Amino acid sequence: MPAPASRAAAAPPREEQRVLAEFLAQHGLKRSAQREAILDAFLKAGSHVSVEDLLRIVKRREPGVGRTTIYRTLKLFQEAGLASELLFGGEARFEPLWNRDHHDHFVCVLCGEIIEFRSPEIERLQDEIAGGLGFTIEGHRHTIFGRCRKCLLKAPRAARPR
């Protein structure tokens, strides 16, 4: 999947740094070069990174960093509203949340490919249904599992759905 043009790469993501600094201060936690490096790598990595993906990237700058630190820091970003954890059944993945527009996911059960989609129509419909039930939506996740185009083409012809 081609990486979406990243605004984060052009300019330092100041706002996220500020949000993190405020969150750390509120919780009596220290700012550290390591946390900053993890945040920077996370924002530049784009969407849907696993702990392993991020570990590989951060290790180039912070060789002493370990898997547990990456995971805990991502959970911290999640608490601070900077990251969203995606639970697709396998390995946990994270994506930046701050100032990103809402989207949902298709997940290929064969190769793990993740495809984002946005549908104002689905969003409107669920608001309507919730309204009818007197339900206030605070958030939602749509994850649709199936087979991506590539995996479908690799499958023997007979196995392909029509």
Residues engaged in binding Zn ion (CB under 5 A): 47, 95, 108, 110-111, 113, 116, 148, 151
Minimum separation from the CB atom of position 53 to Zn ion (A): 14
What residue type is assigned to position 81 of the chain? G
Minimum separation from the CB atom of position 57 to Zn ion (A): 18
Minimum separation from the CB atom of position 32 to Zn ion (A): 28
The residue among 110 and 129 lying less far from Zn ion, judged by its C-beta, is 110
The residue among 113 and 123 lying less far from Zn ion, judged by its C-beta, is 113
The residue among 65 and 82 lying less far from Zn ion, judged by its C-beta, is 82
User: Residue 124: what are its φ and ψ, rounded to 5°?
Assistant: -65, -45
Token couple for 63: 């060789």
Contact indicator for 136, 130 with CB cutoff of 8 Å: yes
The residue among 35 and 147 lying less far from Zn ion, judged by its C-beta, is 147
Q: What is the dihedral of CA 27, 28, 30, 36, to 10 degrees?
A: 10
| 34 vs 147: CA distance, rounded Å | 38
Minimum separation from the CB atom of position 116 to Zn ion (A): 5
Contact indicator for 111, 148 with CB cutoff of 8 Å: yes
